[in-house]
Structure 1
Amino acid sequence: MDHIFARFANRIAHIAGSPLTFLACVAVVIAWAIAGPFFGYSETWQLLINTGTTIVTFLMVFLIQNTQNRDGVALQTKLDELIRSSDAQNEFMGIEKLTDQELTALHERCEAAARKGHAALEQTRAERRRRGHEPPAGD
């Protein structure tokens, strides 16, 4: 059942995101607006578009969320495999399960390490310039 729903959700999400579907929806709205005078802009006429868009939106939320969830898990799995198979730190595997506070702390630690690395690089460049091995900064 999961496989069938996954294929269905992917297909519908792909169709819903196409330019042709957008144009079809614009055509439906234009046709609805043109029909307004023929129906005297009645409550039934308004209810038709309101009900139609509400139902479509309600169903699409679940289909798109399902597709996004699977895409997120697939992407995370790919990233975890890259981390696992590289010289990267394995502690980053599974961090999507951390709390917001834990993620913020890890992010700040990574930013601090990046700043430290950038400072070391700048220090090396300054030393190379001082020794005449590199053109002055800004050139």
Structure 2
Amino acid sequence: MERYFENFANATARVSGSAAAFLLCVVVVLVWAGSGPFFHFSETWQLVINTGTTIVTFLMVFLIQNTQNRDSEALQLKLDELIRSSQAENEFMGIEKLTDQELADLHKRCMASADRVHARLSRLAAERESRGLPGA
């Protein structure tokens, strides 16, 4: 059942994100708007579009969330594999599961490390320049 839903969610997301689906929705809205005078712009006429769009939006939220969750998980797994197979620090694997505070602390640590590297590069460039070496 789960696999069927995943396939359905993927297919629906692919179709609903197409130009044809957008144009179909534009046509539906234009037909609805054009029928307004025929129905004397009644409350029922308004209710038709409101109900239709509410139902579609409600259902699409779940389908889009499903595809986003799987895409996000797949991306995290790919990044974890790149980290694991490289010389990067393995502690970064799975950091998407950290709390906001833990992520903020890790960000501060990374920024401090980047600042140290930038300072070192600036010192090296200044030394090269003072010696008249190229590449400064």
TM-score over 0.5 for the pair: yes
1:127 is matched with: 127
Show structure 1 runs of 5+ residues with no match: none
Q: How far apart, CA to CA, are the structure 2 residues paired with 1:124 and 1:80?
A: 33
* Structure 1 residues 93 and 135, CA gap change in structure 2 (3 angstroms): closer
In structure 2, distance between residues paired with 1:111 and 1:2: 42
Structure 1 counterpart of 2:21? 21
The CA distance in 1 between the partners of 2:135 and 2:66, in whole Å, is 54
Instruction: Map 1:104-123 to 2 at 5 A.
Output: 104-123=104-123
Code of the aligned partner of 2:98: L
Query: For structure 1, which segment, 77-86 or 121-130, has the greater mean C-alpha deviation from structure 2 after superposition?
Result: 121-130
Instruction: Tell me, in whole angstroms, the C-alpha distance in 2 between the residues paired with 1:111 and 1:134.
Output: 29
Quote the residue 1:90 is aligned against: 90
Tell me the TM-score normalized by structure 1. 0.94
Task: Specify the SS of the correspondent of 2:128.
Answer: helix
* Matched positions, count: 136
* 1:44-71 deviation per Cα after TM superposition (whole angstroms, max 9, x unaligned): 1001000000000000000000000000
Structure 2-normalised TM-score? 0.96
Percent identity for Structure 1 against Structure 2: 66
Q: Secondary structure at the match of 2:115?
A: helix
Taking only aligned residues, the RMSD between alpha carbons, in angstroms, comes to 1.0
Match for residue 99 of structure 2?
Answer: 99
2: CA distance, partners of 1:131 / 1:93:
43
